[in-house]
Amino acid sequence: MRFQDFLNFDKMIAGSIIKFLYWLGFVIIILFGLGAIAGSVSTMSYNGALGLLQLVVAIIGIALGVLFWRVICEMYLIFLSMNERLGQIKDKLPGN
């Protein structure tokens, strides 16, 4: 990538940033999930049923959180790839 492409917004860098943000969000979701699991284990010491319910909700929450975060990041990547494809189509049109 040339510096001129960067200045003229001919090449998008957001794809790399979104991939980094995906992994950052993934780690944060996992850490919060592990915190919820630790809290459920703590709850189990005085109320086993409630602690077990919290454990199940935490595990489901981790799975749904990661899935939802992945879908959001993929949607952003799709929008960016559409922009790149439209640029390629424009370059192939006569008169350009």
Q: Give residues with Cβ within 8 angstroms of 47, minimum separation 6.
A: none
Q: For 43-95, how does the pLDDT look when each residue is reduced to its tens digit (9 = 90+)?
A: 999 998 999 999 999 999 999 999 999 999 999 888 888 877 887 888 888 87
pLDDT at 9 over 90: no
Q: What percent of the chain has pLDDT over 70?
A: 93
Average pLDDT over residues 13-35: 93
Longest dimension (CA), the chain: 75
- Compute the distance between CA of residue 33 and CA of residue 35 in angstroms, rounded to an integer: 5
pTM score, whole prediction: 0.78
pLDDT at 5 over 80: no
